[in-house]
Structure 1
Amino acid sequence: MIGIMLNKREAKEMVYLLKKELEELLSDLKDDEIEPMVKTVLEERYHLLFRFFTLLASPAECTRFCRRKQEYQ
């Protein structure tokens, strides 16, 4: 297990960076021109970053980035 210690300012900065990355990934996943293989990799990255985001952000912020099951099937 790996841990990380952040002060409040660093945690806010991390949440900000994760939000921006998640927004970009969501827009890329909606793009129909991206190949399926690339979308699979983007999907894996999204799940990894989202799990990390849930550790730092409030539940209200997390719901903004939740995907519906039909979006990724």
Structure 2
Amino acid sequence: MIGILISEDEKDEIVYMLKREMDEILFDLKEPRIEQVIKAAMEERYKILFNLFKRVATEYECMNYMVRSKKKSNG
């Protein structure tokens, strides 16, 4: 476990950067020309970024970036 002290301005900048990166991933995941292997890697990266985001963002902001999991139905 690593701790870090940051100012409110630095926290806001981290939130901003994480939001931009997550928005870009969500946009790219909708692109049909991107291969599934690449999309799987992007989804893994999104999970990591979202876990970081949860540590610095408000609950309301987190709700906007929660991704619904895809459940496969069996017939």
- TM-score w.r.t. length of structure 2: 0.88
Which structure 2 residue ranges, 5 or more long, are not aligned? Answer: none
2:22 aligned residue = 22
Q: Once superposed, which parts of structure 1, at least 4 consecutive aligned residues long, lie more than 3 Å away?
A: none
Task: Give the CA RMSD over aligned residues.
Answer: 1.4
1:1-73 aligned at under 5 Å gives the runs 1-70=1-70
Deviation at 1:41, TM superposition (A): 0.8
| Residues matched between the structures, number | 72
- Equivalent AA in structure 1 for residue 52 of structure 2: F
Which structure 1 residue ranges, 5 or more long, are not aligned? Answer: none
Deviation at 1:35, TM superposition (A): 0.6
Q: Percent identity?
A: 42
Q: Deviations over 1:8-55 (max 9, x none)?
A: 000000000000001001011111110111111101100000000000
State the alpha-carbon separation in 1 of the partners of residues 3 and 36 from structure 2. 34
Compare CA radii of gyration and give the structure with the larger one: 2
- TM-score w.r.t. length of structure 1: 0.90
